[in-house]
Amino acid sequence: MSEIVQTSVDLEPEKVTKKDVGLAWLRFYFVNEIPHSFDKYIAPSLMWALMPILKKLYKDKDELAAAYQRHLLFFNTQISWGGGTITGIMASLEVARAQEVYMEQPITIDDDLIYNTKSGLMGALAGIGDSIDSGTVQYIFIAIALPWAQGGNPIGALFPFIAFSLYQVIIGYYFAQLGFKLGRTAASEVVGTKMQGIIDALSILGLFMMGILAANYVKVSSSLNFKLSGKEFVIQDILDSVMPGILPLLTVFGVYYFFTKKGLNVTRALVGLTVILGVLAAFGIL
């Protein structure tokens, strides 16, 4: 039997489209934590997400296998800001590398460049994504849904999960397309002036929502009262006339101060707050 020889036409990379990048992002989103392992973390998720793109770019089996291997090195980041952006950037770099391989040019987009780009961005983008998505956006959705949940509406329980998932899919898709379009410069766009304005606006909105939650769902009041010259003074009424909700606000500030000094130890904060409120209640102060 004669050996089948691949021609240059057979090895020519196919064009990678926006649809391909969007599919890669959706694949990453849905398998993000499934293959999580100690040594690679979520690298297999990114590799699996990029597989359709890599198959279009590398028709030579050895080059395709090498592409799989370089995306199986340690990788971990936040799902939308980090995962979306890096998925797009990796697709862009692989397109450039595949062209160099096909044209038999010197390889400037080598394995080290691809991995260093990935490892350099994954932590920085994860920090932004975690603070915005997990620290702000999800609590905005929870604050919106709390009144529905308290009223017995099941939408109150489902809305935060559905809305947050849709938000991450949409923003991750945008970042994936941005990463593919701009390549390695996409990271500067993500943390650029315009995006920073959006981040600041979300942070301010998140603070407003935290204030609303504290005012409506943190219930602390004083039961202390006394008589002076035959007139009864109720401490809670006096506090309400000065600043309504001051005790819940002081409680929130106290917990926040504890976290800034002792770290985010939720268990110690809950136990300490329970003890303090219990003692004050025992003495009739609260």
| Crossing angle of the two packed helices 138-150 and 193-217, in degrees rounded to 10 | 30
Kindly report the backbone phi and psi dihedral angles of residue 225, in degrees, each rounded to the nearest multiple of 5, phi listed first: -150, 155
Cα torsion 17, 20, 22, 24: sign: negative
pLDDT value of position 23: 95
Q: List the beta bridge partners of residue 75.
A: 41
Predicted confidence band at 5 (pLDDT cuts at 50, 70, 90)?
very low
Predicted confidence band at 10 (pLDDT cuts at 50, 70, 90)?
confident
Domain ranges in the chain are 8-212, 220-282
Rounded distance, CA 94 to CA 131, Å?
A: 30
Please state, rounded to an integer, the average pLDDT across all residues of the chain: 80
20, 56 contact by CB (below 8 A): yes
The model's pTM is 0.69
pLDDT value of position 200: 62
Rounded distance, CA 142 to CA 208, Å?
A: 13
Encode pLDDT of 156-197 as tens digits. 889 989 999 999 999 999 999 988 888 755 555 555 555 556
Mean pLDDT across the stretch 42-48? 93
Mean pLDDT across the stretch 267-274? 78
Predicted confidence band at 68 (pLDDT cuts at 50, 70, 90)?
very high
